A and B are shown apart, each in its own frame.
Chain A
Amino acid sequence: MENSDNDFSPQQSLQLIESMINRAKDKFADDGLMYLIWGWLVFLCSLLQFVLMHVYQYPYHYIVWLATIPVFIFQFIYESKRHKKQIVSTYTDNIIGYVWITFAVVIILLGFLVGALTTGEYYTHIIHILLAVYGMPVFLTGVIVKFKPLIIGGIACWILCIASTFVKVYDYQFLFIPFAMLVAWIIPGYLLRAKYKLQKS
């Protein structure tokens, strides 16, 4: 680009501004890795929990969720490494980051509140609540990055949430979780990955 020559026209100025703003935007899309890791993890854990609970009547079926701890650690290391490599940070990335932080806080708070405020078989409410909240970050991310599969995935979670209230047997309600993972995280995750690879090639 030429040095500070001030003899360019207002039209050229506007063109330059427009092309630069567009260049700032054309960075690579999300590679979808975190959607796939978490999607498959929650998918497998919830299915395994269902099998332990329904087929084997194993009382400590929730133990499967311990598998999330190493994934949390992996994610922490992966994100901090990625952050170091980043040469530009956009407002979009920032907002999406906060959407997911809000989601994590809400999930933890709800888990605590359901236990603390309800009596009896409190855990029977968890599936519906999880489905309602799972839809939120996926839907919002989809709207922010204008990626339809995520928007559809988010809405699908909410539809599943309503549908799950019609299933009265707790064990079967459980199967809604892997299904929600498939439509809201795993399928959009693969589509994001395909888009990422296409942009990179």
Chain B
Amino acid sequence: MFKDLDPILHSQLRLAIMSLLISVKQAEFTFIKEKTNSTAGNLSVQVQKLKEAGYIEVRKEFKDNYPNTTCKITQKGIKAFEEYVKALQQYLQVKK
């Protein structure tokens, strides 16, 4: 039997955010927005959900007098991402 896919990660935008953050040390909101082609509103909601799940760390500070948000993946997030990829692989193997 295959594992159930993590519902927090099995969503296009949240998965895209996590895939970006797993490849870099940390990224600003604007970088994620640009790379995922998403709207600021939608991205904020999904970032908040990932933060609530403990998968990412969100730091808000001021940069040149403008609010600036930086996101970073947590250990819990890395583990969840790896589990998710493993589950995907199992799905695909069963299908073969």
Contact A1 B37 (CB under 8 A): yes
In the assembled complex, the Cα of A8 lies from the Cα of B7 at a distance in Å of 12
Q: Which of A4, A24, A87, A93 contacts B14 (CB 8 A)?
A: A4
Give A2 to B36 CA distance when docked, in angstroms: 10
Assess the B31–A88 pair: CB atoms within 8 A.
Answer: yes
Contact of B12 among A11, A16, A88 (CB under 8 A): A16
Given contacts A1-B13, A4-B13, A4-B14, whether A13 and B88 have CB atoms under 8 Å apart is: yes
A14 to B64, CA, bound (A): 38
Verify if A5 is at the interface (C-beta below 8 Å from B). Answer: yes
Render B27-47 as a binary contact track against A, CB cut-off 8 A, 1 for contact.
110110001111000100010
**Chain B 80-96, CB within 8 Å of chain A: the 1/0 string?**
00000100100110010
Number of A-B contacts (CB under 8 A): 86
A94 at the interface (CB under 8 A from B): yes
Are A16 and B19 in contact, with the CB atoms below 8 A? yes
CA gap between A87 and B71 in the complex, in Å = 11
B10 touches A1 (CB 8 A): no
Contact A91–B25 (Cβ < 8 Å): yes
Known: A2-B13, A4-B13, A6-B11. A21 touches B35 (CB 8 A): no
A90 within 8 A of B: yes
Contact of A13 among B10, B22, B37 (CB under 8 A): B10
Smallest Cβ-Cβ distance to A90: which chain B residue: B24
Residue among B11, B20, B23 facing the most chain A CB atoms (10 A cut-off):
B23
Among candidates A4, A11, A14, A25, residue contacting B11 with C-beta atoms closer than 8 Å: A4
Interface size on A, residues (CB 8 A): 26
Asked if A20 CB lies within 8 Å of chain B CBs, one says yes
* CB of B8, distance to nearest CB on chain A (Å): 9
Q: Cβ of A200: which chain B residues have Cβ within 8 Å of it? A: none
Q: Which residues of B contact A8 (CB under 8 A)?
A: 10, 12
Check if B35 sits within 8 Å of A24, measured CB to CB.
Answer: yes
In the complex, chain B residues whose CB is within 8 Å of the CB of A17:
15, 19, 85
At the interface, yes or no: B26 with Cβ under 8 Å from chain A? yes
Q: B residues near A, CB below 8 A?
A: 5, 7, 10-16, 19-20, 22-28, 30-31, 35-38, 42, 46, 63-64, 85, 88, 91-92, 95
Beyond A1-B16, A13-B88, A88-B27, 8 additional pairs, beta carbon < 8 A: A1-B37, A3-B42, A4-B13, A5-B12, A13-B5, A23-B20, A87-B31, A90-B25
A-to-B contact residues, CB < 8 Å: 1-6, 8, 10-11, 13-14, 16-17, 20-21, 23-25, 84, 87-91, 93-94
Can you name 6 A-B residue pairings with CB atoms under 8 Å?
A: A1-B37, A4-B13, A17-B15, A20-B19, A88-B24, A91-B24
Shortest Cβ-Cβ A-B pairs, 9 listed: A20-B19, A4-B11, A24-B23, A87-B28, A88-B27, A87-B31, A10-B91, A88-B31, A17-B19
